[in-house]
Amino acid sequence: MPTLLARLEAAQKLDGAADALRRLARKTWGRPGLADLLHRRLIGHPVHPAVVHLPIGAWMSTAVLDALPGTEHAATTLLAVGTAGAVPAAATGLSEYVTLTRPQRRVALAHFTANGVAMGFFAASIAARLRGDHARGRVLSYTGLGVAGISAYLGGHIAYAMHGPAAAADGQSGTVDYPSMS
């Protein structure tokens, strides 16, 4: 996996799409004021690592309930909660995206894309469950969870191996220079 990640970090072919996403992030979630709220100023460190726990926890709990008989309604509810919770997770992630270096943005583009694919599976799972097709809903949800796991690995690589925003905020050798709150 490290070789694949090194190739992803160096994949200049991704720069056009990564730059387009950065422009979009700057125009939406990266605006002054909103970026401060979503990124770190209120609590002193990036918010994204904290808010991703809601969707991931709900999706993992959905997987557990899907393995148990008679829990279809609870599983569907948790899946919907996790999917709704992914919206603030995406917003906080995009607010951080504007601060990333070019190699970090390449990996983050893959992270963002994988999250979008996972969300597609989760949305399709919700739709199947609401139609009463819980077997298909389970398959779609487990697939989405697998893709979300790959995405989480990529996000962890940005944060830890590449010293992304969370590491920089902790004073590690990250590349982001955060202005003081005063």
- How confident is the model over 80-130, as pLDDT tens digits? 999 999 999 998 898 889 889 999 999 999 999 999 999 999 999 999 999
The amino acid sitting at 146 is: G
Nearest of 10, 30, 7, 17 to residue 176 by alpha carbon: 30
Among 2-11, 27-36, 158-167, which is the least confidently predicted range? 27-36
Nearest of 64, 110, 56 to residue 85 by alpha carbon: 56
Distance (Å, whole) CA 55 – CA 84 = 8
Q: What is the pLDDT of residue 6?
A: 93
Distance (Å, whole) CA 149 – CA 156 = 10
Q: What is the pLDDT of residue 41?
A: 61
Structural domain spans, the chain: 2-169
Distance (Å, whole) CA 162 – CA 73 = 41
| Residue 141 predicted with pLDDT over 50 | yes
User: To the nearest whole number, what is the mean pLDDT of the chain?
Assistant: 87
